[in-house]
Amino acid sequence: MSVTPNTDHHVAKVIDANLDRAREGLRVIEDWCRFGLVRKDLVITLKDFRHQLGKQHKESYKRTRSTKEDPATQLSHPSQNNRANPLDIVFANCARAQEALRVIEEFSRESNQELAMVSAEIRYGVYEIEKEILKSSDKNRRLVILEATKLCLITDTHTNLLNIVSSALKEGVKMIQYRSKEENDLTKLSQAKELAAICKKYNSLLIINDRIDIALAVNADGVHLGQEDFSFNDAKRLLGDEKILGISTHSLDQAQKAQQEGWDYIGLGPIFNSKSKPHITPLGLKILKQVSSTIQLPVFAIGGIDDLNSSKVIEHGSQRIAVINAIINSNDAATASRKLLNCLK
């Protein structure tokens, strides 16, 4: 379709300035998606947006440009100096691109309907990308904590559970897996909400064992599932891309399968005789060494581990452990947590 850009000098200036502004904002967002989030799909979309706007940037618009005559050339705002992290920068540029695209849409509607239509489509596209960036950033934040986690505390029914968890988190435990034998779902939900608040206070992960519905209800960081529970794809579909998914494994084959499917971490066990599952024969340290040397995912050794045998676990290649009784049923949760964390340094 043939387009004759508006010959009004002032309107052309507005369109030119905002085409530059929109493309610059999109480039900032694109580079973060490329290098910060490693989201090829978003990079492809953003690059296409920039190229679409580039095609619409007519020479007649560019000829009106005069930075010397622009009274706002040197203007800035104090908020530009208060962007504390990359996300502040990215979201500021999302807003910049969206605002510029709206200006282009308004001023080109009469003279260049194609440009107005393209600007509107891209503006709505940026709204969706902003949501995806937020989801990806939430997942990345969780994965950073997961990667740094050496000790996971798995809960069990206890009258003093909240104080025990608080003590463990205060000592440096970064991941709580909520597991309860409580039969009343309302009690479970209430307890999970309280744990979610405590974990948020200490910037730690709350993972819900088995119950995807409770994880969603309390906005937990993820779920931990067993071999007979939801598949990876079903769990991801229900929870969304931004949550962490962990799975229990009991062999090298299961661990390898979990890695191929895309799980974020695995629990491997029981390594030793476990009080929580006394009927299950322990895997032993040999399988732990095989899995630890083969799997790139974070591997949490579990089952009968305490401060007395944790050194054997470490010697066989495991950098991470998950415990229940060693902390939950100890005389002092803070001391028990500190001892285990020191063993893992």
pLDDT digit string, tens, across residues 83-139: 568 889 999 999 999 999 999 999 999 999 999 999 999 999 999 999 999 888 889
* Last residue of one domain, picked from the residues 136, 165, 197: 136
Is residue 1, in this structure, part of any structural domain at all? Answer: no
Picking from 200, 87, 91, 82, the residue whose alpha carbon sits closest to that of residue 137 is 87
Is residue 291, in this structure, part of any structural domain at all? Answer: yes
What's residue 183's pLDDT?
Answer: 80
Is residue 142, in this structure, part of any structural domain at all? Answer: no
Q: How many CA atoms lie within 13 Å of 243's alpha carbon, on the beta-carbon side? A: 24
CA distance 165 to 225: 21
Residue 71 tokens, joined? 């009274």
Contact 136, 241 (CB under 8 A): yes
What's residue 273's pLDDT?
Answer: 87
Phi, psi of 88 (to 5 degrees): -60, -40
Tell me if residue 249 falls in helix, strand or coil. strand
Residues 191 and 215 in one domain: yes
Is residue 290, in this structure, part of any structural domain at all? Answer: yes
CA distance 215 to 202: 18
What's residue 279's pLDDT?
Answer: 79
What's residue 53's pLDDT?
Answer: 97
The H or E element that residue 177 is part of is strand 175-178
How many domains does the chain contain in total? 2
What's residue 277's pLDDT?
Answer: 75
Is residue 255, in this structure, part of any structural domain at all? Answer: yes
CA distance 63 to 112: 17
Picking from 85, 78, 102, 115, the residue whose alpha carbon sits closest to that of residue 25 is 102
What's residue 65's pLDDT?
Answer: 82
* Last residue of one domain, picked from the residues 85, 108, 136: 136
| Residues of the chain scoring pLDDT < 70 | 1-7, 67-84
Residues 98 and 203 in one domain: no
Is residue 282, in this structure, part of any structural domain at all? Answer: yes
pTM of the predicted model as reported, rounded to 2 decimal places? 0.75
* Last residue of one domain, picked from the residues 136, 171, 188: 136
What's residue 345's pLDDT?
Answer: 85
CA distance 210 to 181: 12
Provide the domain limits for residue 335: 149-343
Residues 318 and 210 in one domain: yes
Is residue 166, in this structure, part of any structural domain at all? Answer: yes
Is residue 174, in this structure, part of any structural domain at all? Answer: yes
Residues 21 and 126 in one domain: yes
What's residue 41's pLDDT?
Answer: 95
